Amino acid sequence: MAVAACCLLALAGCASLPDAAREMEMPHAQAVEFDNARGPVSASKSAAILEELKSKSGDIDILQKHLALEQEINADSPLVLGNKLVLLQDGPATYRAMFAAIRQAKDHISLETYIFEDDDIGRQFADLLLERQAAGVQVNLIYDSVGCLHTPKEFFERLSTAGIQVLEYNPINPLAGKKKEWLLNNRDHRKLLVVDGRIAFIGGINISESYSSGPSAKSAKKKGVSTVGWRDTHLQIEGPVVAEFQKLFMDTWTEQKGRPLARKIYFPKLSKQGDEIVRAIGSASADPHSLIYLTLLSAIAHAEQRVYLTNAYFVPDPQFLKSLIDAARRGAVST
């Protein structure tokens, strides 16, 4: 499939799993639509894009069914044309790219992370954010209370004192939260960085020294214990879809009742940067169903040739296992 679906694995919590088979059997009559830097494209242009994808992916009916299902379950997140994607493998490459983008920030930085450790990597991030804040760039930070359980409060107080707007996601102390309903399992596993509303980073890499070297690097000694860097993946994104990732950050900030953000140009005019088609999908524990889960099952169910799956945690339920087995039986090899 020539469609790059950027799935934002975020806010893992108590969302229930939908009946995927029933969802996929339901008719989805709405025509597949695309957006570009100027907004929704015409029906004729959308049809032409689908025909072009057909030449690259095979059965247009299968592709159209998958895209139509995605469009219905992710109604607020359009398929956006004109994006550039760069795959970043492991922590070192990701940190280099993120540091470079942060250093070039002119207006604002939106950072949302599950883990932000007070270690060498964490302090490098903190120092760079403080430097940009001092230069007039507004930095907004969301960190998860459980993910940063071992990070001293003084670490974040230093950032806040310097003018960085810091928001703790669902504090583990229920009395410190601002919401009536408090659930310990309501966590923010999102790792998202948006710089100037023009470049976004998303994936599985936290801010921690655990990611400071890739697994292929020589093992290092830390406190007498041999350690190997963690294997994970991130994605650098430029183009019109960056606005959708900024919206996800803003939605979390509002949902967690953060203080009003400083007035900045959070949604600048964006132009085409590449040829990739991207849909930003954000899941939240408050969702009635897991949008990510249903999207993945639909993609596997409609796969024609192959399925590549990489995941840090693989605990498939019966529906997911059946989808993979069915794909293998019809010749779409699963790896």
Q: What pLDDT digit, counting tens, does each position of 250-267 carry?
A: 999 999 999 999 999 999
32: its two tokens:
């597949």
Q: What is the mean pLDDT of residues 268-279?
A: 94
Measured between alpha carbons, how far is residue 88 from residues 35, 231, 242, 248 in Å?
Answer: 26, 11, 17, 21
Measured between alpha carbons, how far is residue 244 from residues 40, 110, 236, 281 in Å?
Answer: 14, 13, 14, 9
Measured over the CA atoms of residue 287, residue 288, residue 292 and residue 298, the dihedral's sign is negative
Helix (H) or strand (E) holding 298: helix 291-301
Q: What is the mean pLDDT of residues 225-248?
A: 89
pLDDT at 244 > cutoff 70: yes
pLDDT at 8 > cutoff 50: no
* Residue-level pLDDT at 143: 98
CA dihedral 203, 209, 214, 218 (to 10 degrees): -170
Quick one: what percent of the chain has pLDDT higher than 90?
A: 50
What is the domain partition of the chain in residue ranges? 85-255, 303-335
User: Residue 20 phi/psi, 5° resolution?
Assistant: -65, -40
Q: What is the mean pLDDT of residues 176-186?
A: 67
pLDDT at 11 > cutoff 60: no
Report the SS3 class of residue 225: strand
Architecture of domain 85-255: 2-Layer Sandwich (3.30)
Q: What pLDDT digit, counting tens, does each position of 84-118 carry?
A: 999 999 999 999 999 999 999 999 999 999 999 99
Residue 177's pLDDT band, with cuts at 50, 70 and 90, is low
* Residue-level pLDDT at 7: 41
47: its two tokens:
């049809």
* Residue-level pLDDT at 203: 94
50: its two tokens:
């689908």
> Do 257 and 178 touch, CB atoms closer than 8 A?
yes
Q: What number of residues does the chain have?
A: 335
* Residue-level pLDDT at 333: 75
Q: What pLDDT digit, counting tens, does each position of 125-140 carry?
A: 999 999 999 999 999 9
What's the pTM?
0.83
